[in-house]
Structures are given as C-alpha cells and as structure tokens.
Amino acid sequence: MERPLTTVAEAAGGDGDGDGEVYRIRPLELDDISKGFSNLLSQLSPSAPLTEDAFRARFGELAALGADHLVLVAEDASTGLLAAAGAVLVERKFIRSCGRVGHVEDVVVDAAARGRGLGERVVRRLVEHARGRGCYKVILNCTPELRAFYAKCGFVEKNVQMGLYF
C-alpha cells in the first residue's frame, strides 16, 4: 500500500508537494528506534524512553495486523532522523453492513519541523490509506486547539470524546 521511495529526489517530488523539502513519508521500520522515534513520541505524551526490546515486540504485534494498522513516519533526509509520525487503525464493524472505520492516532511533528505542512501531509496519507482499505469514514480525537488543523485536513467536528482512566 505504501509505495517504496528509493531516493530523496523521488521522496520530495513523489509525494506531490514539490516544496523542495526532503521529508520521506513511509511506513515505520525496525531501524526507526535508532532514528529518534522515541524522542518524537515523547513530544506527544511524556513517558519513559522506549526500549529497543519493547519497540521490537510491539512492532511485531502490529505487523501481524497487516494493513489494518499502519504507522507512518516522515524521515528528514538531511539528518536521517524522524520529523513526524502518525498511525491509523482500521476497525472492522458489524454495523453499516460490516463497515470499516479508520481511527487516526498519535500524530506528532517534531518541534523543530512544525509550520511546514508536514503534519497535514502525514494525516492525508493516513486518510488515503483508510480509504484504500474500504473505510466509510475516518475519525480522531483531539484537543479543541487542534480543531482548525484537522479541519484543514478535511475533518469536521462530530460528537464528544469521553474517557475513563485506570
């Protein structure tokens, strides 16, 4: 589902942006634990650094879900580090004639790479993945401050999110 990009030139142009940036958006790989993935996630939710063992174990679990769970990252070709990430989980339902729904989760852009449209590019790729998997909609939860960002990505506000914390 994700077209492999073999060169930086292809990556910059192949994404259809033509903005001269050298971010390569691609599925998460096992090597990414050494490319700042843990640091990137810490900007989303403070947490102890991810150990390589834990990362590899979770990577394997998610790989077993195939295209129903996709984590995308944006790699900065100039540094070899990850500048953004995001995930989409495809839920298989019984309602809507056994419909599918994409859940966008854990979208984050490195503090130093913000303001360049990278988050929107990642979200749009996640949405396209969900569409390609036959989802009838994609949903996500966000803080009120992020409404405008997701509206720019094509989302409209719906309902409220409730949570129960253990």
In the complex, the residues that contact a second copy under the rule CB under 8 A are 37, 41, 44-45, 47-48, 50, 54-55, 57-58, 61-62, 69, 71, 87, 89, 91-98, 103, 105-106, 127, 131, 135-144, 147, 150-151, 153-166
Element (H, E) at 31: none
Best CA proximity match to 55, nearest among 74, 75, 34, 76: 34
41-to-9, 80, 166 alpha-carbon distances in Å: 27, 17, 21
Minimal distance, residue 38 CB to a second copy, in Å:
8
Q: Residue 164's CB: how many other CB atoms inside 10 A?
A: 4
CA dihedral 45, 116, 22, 75 (to 10 degrees): 10
In terms of CB distance, is 112 or 151 closer to a second copy? 151
In terms of CB distance, is 41 or 77 closer to a second copy? 41
Minimal distance, residue 143 CB to a second copy, in Å:
6
Residues 6+ apart with CB under 8 A from 116: 19, 21
Minimal distance, residue 119 CB to a second copy, in Å:
14
Minimal distance, residue 28 CB to a second copy, in Å:
9
In terms of CB distance, is 12 or 135 closer to a second copy? 135
Minimal distance, residue 110 CB to a second copy, in Å:
15
In terms of CB distance, is 6 or 43 closer to a second copy? 43
In terms of CB distance, is 18 or 45 closer to a second copy? 45
Please tell me the distance from the alpha carbon of residue 45 to that of residue 127, in angstroms, as a whole number. 23
52-to-30, 49, 109 alpha-carbon distances in Å: 9, 9, 21
